[in-house]
Chain A
Amino acid sequence: MLVYAGKRILLALLVALAVSFISFMILNLSGDPAAALAGADATPEEVEYVREKYGLDRPLLVQYAEWARRAMGGDLGDSPYFNQPVKDIIGGRIGVTMILGVCAFAFAVFLGIPLGVIAALRPNTWLDRLALTLSVLGQAMPNFFFGLILIIFFGVMLRLLPISGSETWKHFIMPAMALGYYAVPSLMRLTRTGMLEVLASDYIRTARAKGLHALPVLFKHALRNAIIPVVALAFVQFGYMLGGAFVIEVVFAVRGIGFLAVRSIERTDLPVVQAIVLLLAVIYVLMTLFADLLNAFLDPRIRVK
């Protein structure tokens, strides 16, 4: 079991490394980092000088190898814009994004799963159709637009919530909703399908034949089985959320790593962008790995051989 987990972690890190390689190539081939560093009104000689000074004239593979070697030791380079280690810059902002991500995750899970259970208990009734309709509507809504609508409605018209920044807990409510809503339809549908399937299964019939009441049948027997793939999906969705959080951070001026990533792209601050891409890739693979392990843990058929 330990060997299995170890192999999976190794594979996951390899994938993250491959991602960093690809992003490195893409970023350095799309633009000219030397020109960006030198500035907009630098002369060609100044650009060449910068290129030599920072070793940007070496072959890309060599540059990457150097970056990767340092990265594995924890050194993610320095940001030319901030003139500080990338690690520090990211470290100062990642907390905010994590809070936003967790809140969005909680919102998605505590809305999507109960909706799915209710829909499964009353299939083809108005409740079910309402849930499915909301799910279809949610998937068509662009996230930045939804965020702006929330701002207008709750922030301006009702004046209930602050519309930008990240100082207090209230600042996270709307951004969390704007980030989390997109995961609700898939979680709801998976819960609903899973519950419908489980509720029609033989062991539920056995439970009822034993005289168990509706609630224990629902929670102890049905949900326990149906929830297994949903939990796994939820963590994968969390990985996606972090990857797409930057739009929400920009709309709500929440200064997390997503906001930082967008600004750094605009400033051609490649070391920061490269580091954030690596970070997101690592989080994503760890989330999928965690989802797999959780799956195995929750399902005795996988756990106990």
Chain B
Amino acid sequence: MTALLDVKGLSVDIPLSAGILHAVRNISFSVERGQTLSLVGESGCGKSLSVLAVMNLLPKKATWRAEQLLFDGRDLTSVNERNMADIRGSKMAMIFQEPMTSLNPCYTIGNQLEEAMLRHQKVPRREARDRAVFLLEKVGITAAGSRLKQYPHQLSGGLRQRVMIAMGLMCGPPLIIADEPTTALDVTIQAQILSLMASLQKEFDMGMILITHDLGIVARVADRVAVMYCGLVVETGEAITLFENPLHPYTQGLLNSIPIPGKTKPGEHLGSIPGMVPSPIGEQSGCVFRNRCDYAFDKCGGQLVDLKEISPGRAYRCLLSPEVCAQNLTGSQAS
């Protein structure tokens, strides 16, 4: 099956007064229809910037380039802004992290929902309104008809995020990108929104990229995972495989630091990764994780470490062999 979105060699640079910030460095990922890819990593690892680059919505100062950026067979690196604007919203929709500020306070919900459709399809307003009502009900908002006349400030955060989801679906796009869609919401609402998104994805057979720093969410919805650190992809694979056998020390560290139901025993210490994420400004030397890695050795400071693929779709970026990594895992689990 050809991928819905196939990204190879994507880089994003941001010029700062102190030098060039290499926020995203030569990463690759892909999504299929009906599948959820999760980009995981700490704040500042470049996951949001990666998808903004795909949609060409980066802030003005940032520049991006990619070896390949194929969407539904179309090469997005050579597409002009006018055509890109046609794709945005209709073929590729994005849901952002801040539902409280992502809607224009001066217009009604209905106006903004209808606008999402009327921009791309020449249909009468009534049709757009009906679709808006249909989708609002699909995302679980009751009394959808009267909601259309309300303003964003009259809705709670959870409701606003549902509206954002409905807005993303107005044109029935094959790809949905969700950038930390539940981070700003209450824990109880988080679960609801996630199930909602998962069921909508199945129903409309969409591809989804879910960006998050929360491994719990990844475990719940992702089919495939790409772990990012400091602008690089350090590990990829199927979600199940990754959780059972994480290879890269960073992934292992992440998993160690969250309680896993069924595995973590009560009273057991949760791990933490010592040190802080370095700022990727200027030239990199050696492995990007080495100053926080328990298993670093002299070679780690030598040359840049490449991504090693051990099976189709399963890769990691470490000098240690997979067997040693697995040993490290059982070792740390036993301690």
Which residues of A are interface residues toward B (Cβ below 8 A)? 201-203, 205-213, 221, 224-225, 298-301, 304
Contact = CB atoms under 8 A, between A and B. Distances in A.
Nearest to A206: B102
Interface in B50-81: 55, 57
Contacts of A211: 85-90, 119-120
Interface stretch (B16-24, B91-99, B187-195, B240-248): B91-99
A300 B103 CA distance: 13
Main secondary structure of the interface of A (DSSP, over half): helix
Contact of B93 (A208, A209, A213): A209
| Contact-residue size bin, chain B (C-beta under 8 Å from the other chain) | 20 to 34
Contacts of A201: 101
Contacts of A206: 96, 102-104, 164, 167
A157 B32 CA distance: 74
Main secondary structure of the interface of B (DSSP, over half): loop
A167 B167 CA distance: 58
Contacts of B89: 209-212
B151 A209 contact: no
A205 B52 CA distance: 10
B137 interface: no
B101 to A, nearest CB: 4
A247 to B, nearest CB: 39
A209 B115 contact: no
A256 to B, nearest CB: 38
Given A202-B96, A202-B98, A209 B88 contact: yes
A201 B101 CA distance: 8
Contacts of B93: 209-210
Given A210-B115, A210-B116, A304-B154, A224 B106 contact: yes
Contacts of B88: 208-211
A233 B103 CA distance: 26
A213 B105 CA distance: 20
Contacts of B55: 209
Contacts of A221: 104
Nearest to B150: A304
A282 B167 CA distance: 48
A236 to B, nearest CB: 22
B153 interface: yes
Contact of A202 (B82, B86, B101, B151): B101
13 contacts: A203-B105, A205-B57, A206-B103, A208-B57, A208-B88, A209-B96, A210-B115, A211-B85, A213-B85, A225-B105, A301-B153, A304-B151, A304-B153
A11 B160 CA distance: 39
B106 A212 contact: no
B20 to A, nearest CB: 19
Given A203-B102, A209-B94, A301 B119 contact: no
Interface in B129-186: 151, 153-154, 164, 167
